[in-house]
Amino acid sequence: MKKTMLTGVRPSGNLTIGNYLGAIKNFVDRQDKYESYIFLADLHAITSPQNPEKLKDAIYNAVAMYLACGVDPQKTIVFKQSDVLEHGTLGFIMTFQTKMGELNRMTQFKYKSQGLGKEGVDTGLFVYPTLMVADILLYNTHIVPVGKDQQQHVELTRDLAERFNKRYGQTFEMPDVYVAPVANKVLNLQNPLEKMNKSDSGDNRGTIFLMDDIEVAKKKIMSAKTDSSNKVHFDEENQPGISNLMSILSKITGEDFDSIEKRYEGLGYGVFKKEVADVVANLLSNIQEKYKKYNDRNLLDKILKQGADNARIVANETLNRSLVALGLK
Ligand code: TRP
């Protein structure tokens, strides 16, 4: 029996190659190995006020983008959280198993509620992690690939699953957290001491967006900040810029650093950057071509409906198990 992998993504738009190489590709490469689920965390999106029209667009765009990046609806169950009502119900139940102290200690809550004062914080922001707990538990999830900022929420999931199982009998599977190693982060091309980020302070010259014009993306690589040694060598401390480009190349093609160094012995940064630019351009044009195909609401509705129908079968079983355990059924 395959183990289960699940992740939830926010409809936040404008994904970068940092998002792709750091997280999305990891998921895509593991689709065959696991029983896989990916969902749009649209209920999580409304923990802060949203413009309904914009939110709808963002949800469709995000689904199309993940599919364009290689999430395969034949292999992975792709759905919207709000289409599977079990999320809300189990979320409610899990909120009742949680102590205020536990939610108060969540660093993401602390960070996001800064300056709002206790009286002004939306309760959605406060209880947001317990909905995530339900997302994970509903599918008997074994591994949850998330970024470091979400690790604490997965640990809360483990605590709550254990608490529930102890009180009411074995009901939930214990999930593991899979965090991509920090060394794998893609860095800003203009400032390789910073992570590549959607909110780039320097005119986006250091950030490659998956929807960037191909020529613009190439230029960004060609003008990436490097050092003056002109030696293609992996040394994150002394040559962070060139190491970042090597890491981008290696992630896309699978070639290791030794082999890249050997190929570029005696050659300068110019030719090397040209290869990285071409490889990135190729990646982007593939993604953009597939995006065009998926950017069709009828097609997306079909995929999401199929995904929700499949997800609901498992989610409903788990919810029922918890209702029986609680004595409600
Ligand atoms: N909280 C996650 C984020 O902000 C998204 C998310 C919601 C999620 N439910 C999840 C991630 C379940 C993994 C598993 O990015």
Rg (CA), the chain: 22
Same-domain pairing of 148 and 273: no
Residue, of 185 and 2, whose pLDDT is higher = 2
Same-domain pairing of 145 and 45: yes
Among residues 132, 241, 150, the alpha carbon closest in space to that of 192 is found at 241
Is 254 within a domain? yes
From 3, 75, 112, 219, active-site residue: 112
Same-domain pairing of 160 and 222: no
Q: Span 94-100, mean pLDDT?
A: 97
Whether residue 179 is predicted with pLDDT greater than 90 in this model: the reply is no
Q: Span 261-266, mean pLDDT?
A: 96
Same-domain pairing of 91 and 238: no
Is 150 within a domain? yes
Residue with tokens 């999401």: 304
Q: How many CB atoms lie within 10 A of CB 241?
A: 19
Q: What is the mean pLDDT of the chain?
A: 94
CATH code (residue 271): 1.10.240.10
Q: What is the band of 104 on the pLDDT scale with cuts at 50, 70, 90?
A: very high
Whether residue 60 is predicted with pLDDT greater than 60 in this model: the reply is yes
pTM equals 0.94
- Indicate the number of domains in the chain: 2
Is 204 within a domain? no
Q: For residue 195, indicate whether it is catalytic.
A: yes
Whether residue 277 is predicted with pLDDT greater than 70 in this model: the reply is yes
Among residues 296, 284, 206, 211, the alpha carbon closest in space to that of 252 is found at 284
Q: Which domain holds residue 84?
A: 4-183+297-326
Q: What is the band of 198 on the pLDDT scale with cuts at 50, 70, 90?
A: confident
Whether residue 295 is predicted with pLDDT greater than 60 in this model: the reply is yes
What pLDDT score was predicted for residue 230?
94
Whether residue 268 is predicted with pLDDT greater than 80 in this model: the reply is yes
What pLDDT score was predicted for residue 181?
59
Q: What is the band of 114 on the pLDDT scale with cuts at 50, 70, 90?
A: confident
What pLDDT score was predicted for residue 202?
67
- Ligand 1: which residue has its CA nearest to atom 6? 8
Q: Which atom of ligand 1 lies closest to the CA of 132?
A: 9
What pLDDT score was predicted for residue 188?
95
Same-domain pairing of 120 and 261: no
CATH code (residue 60): 3.40.50.620
Same-domain pairing of 282 and 309: no
Cα gap 147→180, rounded to integer Å: 7
Cβ of 144 less than 6 Å from ligand 1? yes
What pLDDT score was predicted for residue 110?
87
Q: What is the band of 310 on the pLDDT scale with cuts at 50, 70, 90?
A: very high
Q: Using one digit for the tens of pLDDT, what is the confidence trace for 210-242? A: 999 999 999 999 999 999 999 999 999 999 999
Is 209 within a domain? no
Q: Using one digit for the tens of pLDDT, what is the confidence trace for 13-59? A: 789 999 999 889 999 999 999 999 999 999 999 988 899 999 999 99
In terms of residues, how long is the chain? 329
Whether residue 184 is predicted with pLDDT greater than 90 in this model: the reply is no
Cβ of 315 less than 6 Å from ligand 1? no
Dihedral Cα 199, 200, 204, 210, nearest 10 deg: -50
Label the pairing between strands 35-40 and 176-179: unpaired
Same-domain pairing of 143 and 225: no
Same-domain pairing of 92 and 163: yes
Is 281 within a domain? yes
Name the packing angle between helices 269-294 and 214-222 (round to 10°): 150
What pLDDT score was predicted for residue 140?
97
Q: For residue 219, indicate whether it is catalytic.
A: no
Q: Span 242-248, mean pLDDT?
A: 96
Same-domain pairing of 116 and 147: yes
Q: What is the band of 271 on the pLDDT scale with cuts at 50, 70, 90?
A: very high
Same-domain pairing of 249 and 307: no
Cβ of 135 less than 6 Å from ligand 1? yes
Is 193 within a domain? no
What pLDDT score was predicted for residue 158?
96
Cα gap 41→50, rounded to integer Å: 14
Q: What is the band of 108 on the pLDDT scale with cuts at 50, 70, 90?
A: confident
Listed range (148-157, 178-187, 228-237) with the worst mean pLDDT = 178-187
DSSP character string of 73-104: TTTEEEEEGGGSTHHHHHHHHHHTT--HHHHH
Is 208 within a domain? no
Q: Which atom of ligand 1 lies closest to the CA of 108?
A: 4
Same-domain pairing of 302 and 158: yes
Is 319 within a domain? yes
Cβ of 157 less than 6 Å from ligand 1? no
Whether residue 201 is predicted with pLDDT greater than 80 in this model: the reply is no
Same-domain pairing of 307 and 284: no
Q: Mapping DSSP to helix (H, G, I), strand (E, B) and coil, where does residue 8 land?
A: strand
Contacts of residue 12, defined as CB under 8 A and 6 or more positions apart, other chains included, come to: 58, 62, 198
What pLDDT score was predicted for residue 1?
87
